[in-house]
């Protein structure tokens, strides 16, 4: 094992995804991940609290990005437009990471405990969005409803994006999903 190689977090993440795919999440150990990455367990724990966090460590960045875009939306933006713009901005976090996202989601889909953790992450995102909408002056029921609808749009768009057979942009897929929601709720 060499003393230092760059991108330890990325190497650990890559090794973990390989092992989760090959062996399954439950059969993969932190020691195995560290060994595959050419690092020590101690180094693993510098970056991740446990092997689940390899899959969820970006949650903070996602929440920060979304809430910042909601806060920076023009005052004239409706709540759903502010949330929509924030969700479209998530495309920048996932740029060039579609295959990684596919593999990550396959691991999560194969494990009930990870599915629960993913739902908690999405619920936390909805709470953060609703709080940010509240700071914009949106009343509590409307803020919660908009945030929950936004999470539903994001989840559907994300699933479409990772399942697409052609190369697509997450922001574009989010926009399409948001347009579909608007069409469904438009009065006739």
Q: What is the mean pLDDT of residues 19-31?
A: 97
Q: What Cα–Cα distance (Å) separates residue 136 from each residue in 49, 77, 133?
A: 34, 10, 5
When pLDDT is averaged across residues 142-169 and rounded to a whole number, the result is 94
User: What gap in Å lies between CA 156 and CA 154, rounded to an integer?
Assistant: 6
SS3 content of the chain, % helix, strand, coil (to 5): 75, 0, 25
Q: What is the average pLDDT score of the chain? A: 94
pLDDT bin (cut points 50, 70, 90) of residue 5 is low
Q: Name the percent of the chain lying above pLDDT 70.
A: 96
- Which overall architecture, per CATH, does domain 58-185 show? Orthogonal Bundle (1.10)
What CATH number belongs to 8-50?
1.10.10.60
pLDDT of res. 188: 54
| Res 6: pLDDT | 73
Alpha carbon of residue 74 to chain centroid:
25
User: pLDDT at residue 7 above 70?
Assistant: yes
Joined tokens for residue 158: 């994300």
pTM of the full structure: 0.89
What percent of the chain is predicted at pLDDT more than 90? 89
Query: Whole-angstrom distance between the N-terminal and C-terminal Cα of the chain?
Result: 66
Residue 87 — pLDDT band, cuts 50, 70, 90?
Answer: very high
pLDDT at 187 > cutoff 70: no
pLDDT for 76: 96
* 101/177 Cα distance (integer angstroms): 19
Instruction: Please indicate whether residue 186 or residue 37 has the higher confidence score (pLDDT).
Output: 37
pLDDT at residue 158 greater than cutoff 50: yes
Q: How far apart are CA 109 and CA 115, in angstroms?
A: 6
165 pLDDT more than 90:
no
Q: Where, residue-wise, is CATH 1.10.10.60 in the chain?
A: 8-50
């Amino acid at each position: 094992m060499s003393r230092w190689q760059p991108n330890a977090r990325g190497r650990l993440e890559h090794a973990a995804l390989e092992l989760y795919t090959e062996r399954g999440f439950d059969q993969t150990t932190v020691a195995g991940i560290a060994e595959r990455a050419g690092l020590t367990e101690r180094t693993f724990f510098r970056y991740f609290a446990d092997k689940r966090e390899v899959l969820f460590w970006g949650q903070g960045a996602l929440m920060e990005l979304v809430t910042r875009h909601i806060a920076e939306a023009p005052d004239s933006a409706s709540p759903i437009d502010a949330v929509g713009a924030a969700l479209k901005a998530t495309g920048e976090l996932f740029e060039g990471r579609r295959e990684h996202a596919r593999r990550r989601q396959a691991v999560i889909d194969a494990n009930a405990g990870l599915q629960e953790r993913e739902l908690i992450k999405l619920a936390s995102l909805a709470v953060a969005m609703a709080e940010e909408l509240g700071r914009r002056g949106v009343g509590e029921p409307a803020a919660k409803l908009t945030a929950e609808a936004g999470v539903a749009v994001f989840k559907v768009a994300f699933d479409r994006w990772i399942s697409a057979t052609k190369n697509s942009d997450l922001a574009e897929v989010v926009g399409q999903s948001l347009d579909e929601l608007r069409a469904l709720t438009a009065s006739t």
